[in-house]
Structure 1
Amino acid sequence: MTRKTASTTRRLGVLGLSALLCGCTMAPDYVRPAMPVQTAYPSDTHAASVPAHVVAADLGWRDFFVDERLKALIALAIRDNRSLRSQIASISEAQGQYEVQHASLFPPISATGNGEYFAPSSTAGFSFAPGLGQNISMLRYYSAGIGFSAYEVDLFGRIRSLSQEQAEDALASEENARSVLTSTIAEVATTYISWLADRELLRVTNDTLASQQHTLDLTQTMYDHGETDLLTLQQTRSQVQQAAANQAQYERQMGLDAHALQLAVGAPLPADLPEPAPFGQQTILSDLPAGLPSDLIARRPDVVQAEHTLKAANANIGAARAAFFPRVTITASDGISSLQFRHLFTPGATTWSAAPSITLPIFTWGQNEGNLRISKARKLEQIATYERTVQTAFREVSDALTARETYLAQDRQLDGLVQSDQDAYRLAQMRFSSGIDSYLTTLEQQRSLYQAQQTSIAVKSARFQNLVTLYRALGGGWVDHTPPTRVASAAAAR
């Protein structure tokens, strides 16, 4: 072999090795689908209490919520919630599947050692080496080696495509766990707010019931002395009975809320939890910056998960395409062998073998074509799923923003209504005490005040829960604390 030929051979060998190591896949180039939604959310006239560039997904839940009891419940849920535990196990499973698939890119090298002993039934027909003699009762053979078997050379990227698909599935599993985490935190928060609202309704009902019971006692005394009629007495009694029924209802609701909290947390609620903050002071924020719909694509877990699933389907096309091309496998070993153990590690005992093979698909009777069609159809399906996920996320944020504005307006009006009814009830009592009006007017104003208080608490509860929903819809709730860089940029913006 000439020097030029040897150089060319070495160059081709290096190029071939580089091709094996670097490789390429036959998967289509991935292009993120265009957003099938508007470029902005519905108009939001309410001023944000945090700078607009502080994305809600970066706002830590310990910074968003300030109620110490609620933060303790959320911490317990993160530790004990069974759905989260299941998702963590799913992440480990997906990562293990990726490691198994990715390992196929490399030859599984193993070492072997072997010793064989056998005795011929007779020496007839055996030819022995000189010096071994004819009287042999036992034959021995020793060998040791290292190598690999049936290693597929990934010339066309089939294994790399499958490895990429598994990697995307593992990443999708992580995002799914983040989505479950944000949903769990939101569930704990909304259930806790429901418990606070029912506790507040029970407090108002107890106050109303005590007042009405006192009024009933006075009315009964007045009726017994002929100072009022039976109609007034029965109307007063009916209000007491209605308040007593509401008391039982709210006590029941508080119990159900506690059960729901226990399920969301995943463990019995400790007795040493901090005292709850006053109703309506669970978070210092009255608003959240919505940002842009493009923020959802990069930060909302379920959208990111859908994109990873789409990328996995895209990678699978590469594996389906590679199935049309030859498949090269290699079995190779390097070792030593000898008939005598003391000669096993001598230079003359070395041995090696290499057995490459190639398989070329000729007639698959449509199997490869069918697999490729399946892969392409799955990608189209995942594109539609991804776009649907984006649209759903956009709608959830839009709904929460619209509800926020209307809840704020409704809450302000109901606060005014409660104040007006309190004033009317006070004036009705004064008019009755002065003998200007009958007590029926006072009863009616008391009933109106109680109903206004109930409605106001229900709307406040819905408004606070809507804020939690918006926080989750924008992708928030998967980090404990806001990253320092975000906090610093927000402070600089002020």
Structure 2
Amino acid sequence: MFKHHSFKRQRLACALTTGIFLSGCAMGPDYQQPDLDIPEQYHNDLAQAPGPNIGMTHWRDFYLDTDLQVLIEHALAKNLDLETVRSRLIAARSNITVTDAALYPALGINADAERSIDSGITSTDPSHGNEFNLAGTVAWELDIWGANRRRSEAEYANFLSAQESLNLAAISLISDVASRYYEWLDIEQRYEISLNTVDLRKKERDLARLRKQNGVISGLEVRQAEVEYQSAKVTLPDLDFERQEKANQLRILLGKFSYPLTVKTETQLKAEGKLFPDKFAVGVPSQMLSQRPDVKAAEQAVIAANANVGVAKTAFFPSFTITGSYGTETDDLSSIFDSQGVTWSLLGGITAPIFNAGSISAQYDIAQEGSKQALLGYRSTVLRAYFEVNDAMNSFRRSELAIEAQQELVAASTEYNRLATLRYRNGVSSSLDLMDAQRSLFSAELSLSLVKRDRLLSMITLYRALGGGILSKEDLN
């Protein structure tokens, strides 16, 4: 009896081994990276600049402002949208386990008990009977055509895409925090400039009133001084609203209702210095494929769609299943493990499509079109990324030229205001000349703050367009 059961088990093992051997091929095309025909260089002289590729540097090596680094660290740890993307990645990782489970036999256990009595109609001496069964079960769909392996391939690509989505979300968050931070500082600086100008023009108005009382100037000049004072004062409400709005936008990114924000405009809004690296390079366009998370996520979508074509193709072919059980049967529960009533079964099944009104063919066509759409999306992402880098470089170059010109304008306006003030106080020129000089300086200072902000934002945009740098595990966890 023992030899007989041993032989049966050997046959079952042989059948399973044969199934594994037959599962060696997978239907559908294997993924081949498409030829994207990317230009060798960007359309900007900045591409030839010396220095490390900023797209491959960690954000700490790019954002050198220590106060900004603290904000970024807090945002990476507390931002609610980023936490949602982290949750999606965990779910994507679990989906791999669910999908891969189909590659292996499913093992289980089946136990049942039955107590019965014969009918008094058919038996003159009805008696109770007990039956207990305990058996191990196995079920396996042979992956002969590779459907399950293609599903696993697609799910793994989806997981990598989710990983890149997390990278993209973190990079976007870092960029948004830096942008909102410098926009907020710019508004704070313009608000301070406006306050100083209002204070100065109030003094000029009071001086004009005094000179009017002494008969030095007319009432018209007093009114002109009053207009200039009110013109500067009227800018304060809007700037005050904007500074509060930008601060709130920052707090949303930081994931906190209340976060103390301090202003140090003298050190944090200068055009150059230790806010960013002094020298950097942008590399070549081909490096962008491995630097930008959105490009890498788009490629993983192509891989997943390509694998789904293989899954759809296997539906044209028959599927094979093996089910089996091995256990014992007894009428006494205490002897269930010692019973000689051995039971076993081995069943092989085949299911093949015959008529389905074109459903399988339609599903295959859908999968092929899905693969085509994913490839087009990938090419579109690469094309858009390439020109985003070019536009970011052009914006950076424009901001450098603009800030140089604006600084010269502020210097000239400052000297003009100094001379106009001296001439007015010495009675050489009228108040109109002084007010014109003050207006020019006020406008030039406000514009300089905006130009400095634009230069900072152009650096942030360029860094993000090149991929946003390398993230550490601590940044993503």
Same fold (TM over 0.5): yes
**CA shift in 2, pair 1:420/1:275, >3 Å:** closer
How far apart are 1:68 and its partner, in Å?
2.8
- Out of 132, 136, 143, the residue aligned to residue 142 of structure 1 is 132
- Out of 4, 15, 18, the residue aligned to residue 16 of structure 1 is 18
- Out of 94, 103, 117, the residue aligned to residue 96 of structure 1 is 94
Kindly indicate whether residue 299 of structure 2 is the aligned counterpart of residue 299 of structure 1.
no
**CA shift in 2, pair 1:400/1:286, >3 Å:** farther
Kindly indicate whether residue 361 of structure 2 is the aligned counterpart of residue 369 of structure 1.
yes
Cα RMSD for the two superposed structures: 2.7
How far apart are 1:448 and its partner, in Å?
0.5
Q: How does 1:408-447 map to 2 (within 5 A)?
A: 408-447=400-439
> What secondary structure, in the 3-state scheme, does the structure 1 residue paired with 2:408 have?
helix
Q: How does 1:16-415 map to 2 (within 5 A)?
A: 16-20=18-22, 23-35=24-36, 37-45=38-46, 48=49, 51-52=51-52, 55-122=53-120, 124=122, 137-149=127-139, 151-271=140-260, 277-280=267-270, 283-286=275-278, 288-346=280-338, 348-415=340-407
Structure 1: distance between partners of 2:143 and 2:86: 32
How far apart are 1:260 and its partner, in Å?
0.8
Read off the aligned partner of 2:370 and give its amino acid letter: R
Read off the aligned partner of 1:388 and give its amino acid letter: S
- Residues 438-482 of structure 1: per-residue CA shift (max 9 Å, x gap): 222121111101111111110110110111111111111552599
Read off the aligned partner of 1:115 and give its amino acid letter: A
> What secondary structure, in the 3-state scheme, does the structure 2 residue paired with 1:354 have?
strand
Structure 2: distance between partners of 1:352 and 1:365: 40
How far apart are 1:227 and its partner, in Å?
1.0
**CA shift in 2, pair 1:432/1:47, >3 Å:** farther
Residues matched between the structures, number:
462
How far apart are 1:311 and its partner, in Å?
0.6
Read off the aligned partner of 2:458 and give its amino acid letter: N
Structure 1: distance between partners of 2:25 and 2:210: 95
Read off the aligned partner of 1:144 and give its amino acid letter: L
8 Å CA contact 2:164–2:294 kept in 1: the answer is yes
8 Å CA contact 1:46–1:405 kept in 2: the answer is no
Structure 2: distance between partners of 1:110 and 1:282: 64
The alignment's TM-score, normalised by the length of structure 1, stands at 0.87
8 Å CA contact 1:25–1:318 kept in 2: the answer is yes
Structure 1: distance between partners of 2:300 and 2:472: 24
**CA shift in 2, pair 1:470/1:482, >3 Å:** farther
Read off the aligned partner of 2:70 and give its amino acid letter: A
How far apart are 1:415 and its partner, in Å?
0.7
Structure 2 residue aligned with 1:468: 460
8 Å CA contact 2:106–2:138 kept in 1: the answer is yes
Structure 2: distance between partners of 1:181 and 1:446: 45
Structure 1: distance between partners of 2:187 and 2:373: 45
Taking every aligned residue pair, what percent have the same amino acid on both sides?
Answer: 27
8 Å CA contact 2:75–2:253 kept in 1: the answer is yes
8 Å CA contact 2:85–2:165 kept in 1: the answer is yes
Q: Which runs of 5+ in 1 are unaligned?
A: 1-8, 126-133, 484-494
**CA shift in 2, pair 1:426/1:234, >3 Å:** same
> What secondary structure, in the 3-state scheme, does the structure 1 residue paired with 2:234 have?
helix
8 Å CA contact 2:107–2:136 kept in 1: the answer is yes
**CA shift in 2, pair 1:324/1:47, >3 Å:** closer
Structure 2 residue aligned with 1:4: none
How far apart are 1:339 and its partner, in Å?
2.8
Read off the aligned partner of 2:194 and give its amino acid letter: T
Higher alpha-carbon deviation: 212-221 or 280-289? 280-289
- Residues 392-429 of structure 1: per-residue CA shift (max 9 Å, x gap): 11121111100101100110111111011111111222
> What secondary structure, in the 3-state scheme, does the structure 2 residue paired with 1:348 have?
coil
**CA shift in 2, pair 1:346/1:471, >3 Å:** same
**CA shift in 2, pair 1:225/1:292, >3 Å:** same
Structure 2 residue aligned with 1:459: 451
**CA shift in 2, pair 1:479/1:275, >3 Å:** farther
8 Å CA contact 2:43–2:390 kept in 1: the answer is yes
8 Å CA contact 1:313–1:378 kept in 2: the answer is yes
Structure 2: distance between partners of 1:174 and 1:338: 54
Higher alpha-carbon deviation: 38-47 or 469-478? 38-47
How far apart are 1:284 and its partner, in Å?
3.1
> What secondary structure, in the 3-state scheme, does the structure 1 residue paired with 2:325 have?
strand
How far apart are 1:14 and its partner, in Å?
9.3
How far apart are 1:154 and its partner, in Å?
0.6
Structure 2: distance between partners of 1:286 and 1:64: 10
Read off the aligned partner of 1:226 and give its amino acid letter: G
How far apart are 1:272 and its partner, in Å?
8.1
Higher alpha-carbon deviation: 100-109 or 114-123? 114-123
How far apart are 1:334 and its partner, in Å?
1.4
How far apart are 1:44 and its partner, in Å?
2.2
The alignment's TM-score, normalised by the length of structure 2, stands at 0.90
How far apart are 1:274 and its partner, in Å?
9.4
**CA shift in 2, pair 1:391/1:258, >3 Å:** same
> What secondary structure, in the 3-state scheme, does the structure 1 residue paired with 2:390 have?
helix
Structure 1: distance between partners of 2:47 and 2:192: 32
Structure 1: distance between partners of 2:98 and 2:74: 34
Read off the aligned partner of 1:76 and give its amino acid letter: H
